Structure 1
Amino acid sequence: MRSGIRLVNLIIISSLLSGCETAADAFFSAGDRLFQPGESSAASMPTLSVADFVAPYTLNPVKANKDYLGEWVKLRGVVIDIRKINGISNAYSYLVSLKDENNKTNNVIQFQFGSHNSTNVDSLQIGRSATIIGQVHALGEAPLPLLQNPKVVQ
């Protein structure tokens, strides 16, 4: 009898968890719409090259991060890497790396896309130019920030 109850509990928990990914995607997509810059704001935002964006970070990464932290930036560069990063409980994200189109710097900027943004990531190709808006996130051990909540723009 006790094993029957455990089996029923396991089935209930499994069915609840199977809907978590869909619910999480809907939750994060709604959050993106609330927190990303609107279409008119994105259109009027100046487009920076990767070299222009990283220049202040090469002089003083701590000061540059204070100046840019939380700000939205629109960067244009060449996609050099697209990776799927596994997280906890089947969660994952995508890490997209951009380099300067004119090779003015060897620095690379990375954007972290949530799993709910797979359509944005699907539109990118390694070796092709792309323009991506992202929010500057705090520095970790690296001298350059990770840009989060990104969106590919045309």
Structure 2
Amino acid sequence: MSETENRPLYAVLMALSGDTLLLPNVAIAEVVARETLQPDLRLPAWIAGFVDWNSRRVPALRFEVLNGGAVPEASRRERVVVLNSSGRYLPSGQLAIVTQAYPHLVTLTRAALQPAPLRDSDRAELVLARTRVANQLAAIPDLDMIEAEVARALPAAAAAASG
């Protein structure tokens, strides 16, 4: 094994309804309670609403719905995970994902990640890859493409207000 394969990767597993996301730990800005979520019924079903965070209005999405799944039932265990994004499409530089539970920190090595095929239902432009972490299958999302998708879905006024 090379030194690169042994170097630890600090990541977060985020449980969704019927799926799991794997993100680098540095992508996570904060985890907030679902009660902070302000729904906006004018937006597509995959946008759960907005959270006010650090004087910004951050759009929150349900990745599993954006990726072709059904809208999950609300749960008291839900959390809203604020992510740092590139800021190329959203002036705030943040977006959020609604999860089914508190995210789990994991320390991995590249050798521990086993490639897995995309699901037939995956939108290839949103899912960079799938991997097996121990006995759990996880999707590695393309945050840049997700940010672009969110920006396209928001009315111009909402996108300007998020900055």
TM-score, normalisation: structure 1: 0.35
Q: Which of the pair has the greater relative contact order for Cα pairs under 8 Å at 6+ separation?
A: 2
Structure with the largest fraction of helix? 1
Larger Rg computed on CA atoms: 1
TM-score, normalisation: structure 2: 0.33
Structure with the largest fraction of strand? 2
